Amino acid sequence: MQLSDRVTGGVLVVLGGLAAWSGSRLPAVPGQDVGPAAFPMLIGSGLVICGALIALGIGRSFEVPEEDVPATGSRFGGLRVLIPPALLLFYMLASEPLGFLLTAGIMVFVVAWALGASMRLAVPLALVAPVLVHLAFYKLLRVPLPDGVLPAPW
Amino acid sequence: MNELMEGVRLVAAPDVIIAIVASAIYGLVVGSLPGLSATMATALLVPVTFWLSPIAAIATIITASAMAIFSGDIPGCLLRIPGTPASAAYTDEAYAMTRKGQPEVALGAGLWFSAIGGIVGTLSLVLMAPLLAEMALSFSTFEYFWLAFLGLMCATLVARSSPIKAIASMLLGLLIACIGMENPAGTPRFTFGLTDLLGGIEPIPALVGVFAVSEVMRAMATPEPPKMPHRKFGSILAGQWKLTKKYQWPMWRGNIIGVIIGVLPGAGADMAAWVSYAMSKKFSKEPEKFGTGHPEGLVEAGASNNASLASGWVPSLLFGIPGDTITAIAIGVLYMKGLNPGPTLFTENARSMYALYLIFIIANIIMIPLGIVMIRIASKVLRAPRASIMPVILLLCAVGAFATGNNLFSVLLVGVFGILGFVMERNGYPVAALVLGIVMGTMVEQNFITSLIKSDGDVMPFFERPVSAVLAAMTIGALLWPLGVWIWNRTGGRRLPA
């Protein structure tokens, strides 16, 4: 996800502009000059200025160029970075119907496998880690983790 | 004296002692794993602190962060991969010592001077905090506004990144803090009709996303770090007394710089280490030896980052303004436990404060034996494959986010902030500035708007009170500093060829 400064700067200009514009449309507090609109407008304008400066390449001299990481051409290619957030979305959607143990097991297995773990590591990890986490959070910390189709025996 | 005894009694409770030991081990292990930073270790601890007594909760945060900052030196020294960003400043130096065959001297220096720095930092906290508390009692919203703003500006002065990008990150954080109805008028802003956003963005899911999920994402994109060779270490503390005597001045300079940077709101251990390492090189009698495995810089910067850790609690406890990302988390925990930061904390809750000081001292003392054990077993811990650690981290992110409010929406937020953190880091936008923006946004706005209402929209009163004028000058200085450096470089560059 290495983007040029023009792109990220441009995104900031648009975002700042939108924030300032929608901030300016917020209802004012009757009888007062400064209300909820002031702060978003100020920040929005700041973002527009910063975004423009970044897009123009000002301030680059301070940056230490990042070492280029060679893309590892293994499972799933470049989209692999999206696996963790995708799994969090999966957790949000699936933990209620499937239950914590099953959802967590799938998550752990997928991450381990995507990082190149052998079956001998990924499978036991997917079996043990959710149980330990469930014990710690459900029993010790009393977090109401959902049971779903596979309730824990404790 | 009575209060001190009360403090001792609070710390001697069994649950506090268990919390200290357990979080010490946790901090040492997590800090030593490359990529897992001290901030992340602390952020993942927050859900656990919900179910602890107030003192035990604070103890876990203090101990885990102190240990993690030290043990970040271990992979830096042995593998040339800093375990935490605070160790990055002197990683090359420590690795050079390992190549010269002195890994135990480098690690020992990290441990010994970390502990000394931590204790000096604690003493500064003990001395400074009550004095400043008296001053803070007379602060009005103008001073609070400048303090919070100064904190945000300091956070943008982090080394190695474009100041404009850093300011942009901070503004983005402030904009995220605008979400919800936590504003002086109680108007819902930027909620896009989602009820989940009405309450605003909680800092914890943002922190966990930006620091932990993005790290798991990075692991997906980068090759596995090299395996550590088995290594036998000599005595770890043997040469340290000699180093202490030889580099007494650099050590004290490191301690003092660390304390000063820590006290500045917004600037933390990472910055302390960079500044101290640079200072050490500048003032050294043998600067040519730096980078070739010379312990002087290690002594100074190692002391500095731990000193800043303790003194970073000064602005947090007094004003609720975080010294760095770790204390940003700590402030959240303090509020949750009814120890609301503010100058009155020192008068009304003195025994809790004594307990806090004691925990700092204990943490820095047990750091030495536990740290030695950690160094000895480091080769085993660091051999654990990434594929076995990252899945567990991701699972803890999900459960931890859920536990903060028993709300599945936070799990989604963690994912979104993971992507944001990953993209920002890749493109040179410092994420610490974003996080501090999110944490401090409400406070900055609250004080800014209240001040404006008080002054009838006039900006002059922001500069009229003496303390607020000084703070304003510091803030504007921090804002103009990069410009000054830029002009200096420009003119210097032009003069050279002539």
Confidence (pLDDT) at A63:
64
**Per-residue pLDDT for A111 more than 70?**
yes
Confidence (pLDDT) at B498: 30
CA distance B434 to B175: 10
Chain B residues with CB-CB distance to A91 below 8 A: 398, 411
For chain A, what is the HEC assignment? CCCCHHHHHHHHHHHHHHHHHHHHCCCCCCCCCCCCCHHHHHHHHHHHHHHHHHHCCCCHHHCCCCCCCCCCCCCCHHHHHHHHHHHHHHHHHHHHHHCHHHHHHHHHHHHHHHCCCCHHHHHHHHHHHHHHHHHHHHHHCCCCCCCCCCCCCC
What is B99-144 written as a DSSP string? HTT-HHHHHHHHHHHHHHHHHHHHHHHHHHHHHHHHHHTT--HHHH
Residue B81 has pLDDT above 90, yes or no: no
How many angstroms separate the CA of residue B397 from the nearest CA in chain A? 9
What sign has the CA pseudo-torsion A73, A76, A77, A81?
A: negative
pLDDT of residue A76: 58
Q: pLDDT tens, B3-39?
A: 888 889 999 999 999 999 999 999 998 888 877 788 8
- The closest CB to that of A84, out of B50, B213, B386, belongs to B213
Task: Find where tokens 């065959």 sit.
Answer: B101
Q: Residue B400 corresponds to which tokens in the numbers above?
A: 């931890």
Of all residues in chain B, what percent carry a pLDDT higher than 90?
Answer: 24
Structure confidence at residue B159 as a pLDDT band (50, 70, 90): low
Which among A27, A88, A141 is the nearest to B414, CB-wise? A88
pLDDT range class, residue A67, cuts 50, 70, 90: low
pLDDT at A5: 86
Give the angle subtended at the CA of A109 by the CAs of A104 and A114, to the nearest 5°: 130
Instruction: Identify the pLDDT of residue B15.
Output: 92
pLDDT band at B281 (very low <50, low <70, confident <90, very high): confident
A38/B221 touch (CB, cutoff 8 Å), yes or no? no
- Retrieve residue B393's tokens: 């981290």
| A14 interface with B at CB cutoff 8 Å | no
Q: What whole-number distance in Å separates Cα of residue B90 and Cα of residue B47?
A: 33
Instruction: Determine the pLDDT at residue B248.
Output: 86
DSSP string, B144-184: HHHHHHHHHHHHHT-TTS-HHHHHHHHHHHHHHHHSBS-ST
Are A34 and B452 within 8 A, CB to CB? yes
At residue B237, the 3 state secondary structure works out as coil
Instruction: Tell me the CA distances in angstroms from B224 to B257, B426, B482, one per residue in order.
Output: 36, 18, 36
Q: Chain B residue with minimal CA distance to A24?
A: B189
Residue B293, sorted as left (phi over 0), alpha (psi -120 to 50) or beta, turns out to be left
Residue B117: the pLDDT is: 92
Residue B401 has pLDDT above 70, yes or no: yes
Nearest to A143 among B402, B412, B482 (CB): B402
Residue numbers in B near A125 (CB within 8 A): 388, 391-392
Nearest CA in chain B to A7: B427
How far apart CA B6 and CA B417 sit, in angstroms, is 42
Give yes or no for a contact between B251 and B244, defined as CB atoms under 8 angstroms apart: yes
Closest CA in chain B for residue A132:
B392
Among A51-60, B6-15, B488-497, the range of highest mean pLDDT: B6-15
The two three-digit tokens of residue B62, written as one number: 């203090």
- Rounded to whole angstroms, how far apart are CA atoms A61 and A84? 33
Pair B209, B420: CB distance under 8 Å: yes
A35 Cβ under 8 Å from any chain B Cβ: yes
Q: What is the ipTM of this complex?
A: 0.91
Mutate to test the interface with B, among A29, A103, A111, A131 (most CBs of B within 10 A): A111
Q: What is the pTM of this model?
A: 0.86
What pairs with residue B180 in β-bridges? B189
Contacts of B61 (CB under 8 A, 6+ apart): B23, B42, B45, B49, B326, B329, B330, B333
Chain A CB contacts of B160 below 8 Å: 62-64
> Does the pLDDT of residue B494 top 50, yes or no?
no
Q: Which residues of A touch B451 (CB under 8 A)?
A: none
Is the model's pLDDT at A65 over the cut of 60? no
Those residues whose C-beta lies under 8 Å from the C-beta of residue A151, and which sit 6 or more positions away, are A99
Residues 40-69, chain A: which have Cβ within 8 Å of B?
A: 40, 43-44, 46-47, 50-51, 53-54, 58-64, 66, 69
Distance between A139 CA and the closest CA of chain B, angstroms: 12
Residue B243 to residues B115, B195, B258, B299, B307: CA-CA distances in angstroms? 14, 59, 19, 8, 18
Identity of residue B450? T
Task: Give residue B78's Cα distance to chain centre.
Answer: 23
**Residues of chain A neighbouring B183 (CB-CB closer than 8 A):** 36, 39
Max Cα–Cα distance, chain B, nearest Å = 71
> Cβ A1–B391 below 8 Å, yes or no?
no
Average pLDDT over residues B385-389: 86
Q: What was the pLDDT predicted at A9?
A: 92
State the pLDDT at residue A77.
63
Note whether B388 contacts A117, CB cutoff 8 Å: yes
Give the residue, B491 or B269, on which the prediction is more confident. Answer: B269
pLDDT in tens, B46-71: 888 888 899 999 999 999 998 988 88
Q: In angstroms, what separates the C-alpha of A10 from chain B's closest C-alpha?
A: 12
Region A99-111 average pLDDT: 94
Highest mean pLDDT among A139-143, B198-202, B362-366, B428-432: B362-366
Q: Is B200 helix (H, G, I), strand (E, B) or coil?
A: coil
pLDDT for position B496: 39
pLDDT value of position A16: 94
Q: How far is CA B264 from CA B95, B155, B272, B333, B350, in A?
A: 30, 10, 11, 21, 23
Nearest CA in chain B to A103: B395
Contacts of B48 in chain A (CB under 8 A): 141
Q: pLDDT tens across B460-487, in order?
A: 888 988 889 998 998 888 888 777 777 7
pLDDT value, residue B304: 92
Inter-chain residue contact B175 with A40, CB threshold 8 Å = yes
Q: B396: nearest CA in chain A? A: A133
Count of C-beta atoms within a 10 Å radius of residue A114:
23
Single out the residue of B62, B6, B49 nearest to residue B313, CA to CA.
Answer: B62
Residues 6+ apart with CB under 8 A from B495: none
Round the average pLDDT of chain B to a whole number and report it: 86
**For B50, nearest residue in chain A (alpha carbons):** A141
Could you tell me which of B306, B426, B348, B319 has the C-alpha nearest to residue B65?
B306
Among A135, A5, A144, residue whose Cα is nearest residue A65: A5
Taking the C-alpha atoms of residue B91 and residue B83, their distance in angstroms, rounded to an integer, is: 9
For the residues A23-36, what does the mean pLDDT come to? 79
3-state SS assignment for residue B189? strand
Q: Report how far residue B45's alpha carbon sits from residue B497's, in angstroms, rounded to the nearest whole number.
A: 55
Does B418 contact chain A (CB < 8 Å)? yes
pLDDT at position B495 is 44
**B130 φ, ψ (degrees, to nearest 5):** -65, -35
**What end-to-end distance do the CA atoms of chain B give, in Å?**
68
- Token pair, residue B304, equals 């500095």
Q: What is the pLDDT of residues B91-148, one digit of tens each?
A: 888 888 888 888 888 888 889 998 999 999 999 998 888 888 888 888 888 998 998 8
Please report the number of interchain residue pairs, chain A to chain B, with beta-carbon separation below 8 angstroms: 234
Q: At what angle do helices B38-49 and B14-32 cross, to 10 degrees?
A: 150
Q: Which residue has the higher pLDDT, B440 or A46?
A: A46
pLDDT tens string B289-329: 888 888 888 899 989 988 998 888 888 888 888 878 888 88
Residue from B395, B444, B485 to probe the interface with A (highest A Cβ count within 10 Å) = B395
Q: Do A111 and B216 touch (CB under 8 A)?
A: yes
Cβ-nearest to B395 among A26, A117, A129: A129
Given a cut of 70, is residue B370 above it in pLDDT?
Answer: yes
A79 touches chain B (CB under 8 A): no
User: Which candidate from B183, B412, B485 shows the least CB-CB separation from A92?
Assistant: B412
Q: Which residues pair with B189 in a beta bridge?
A: B180
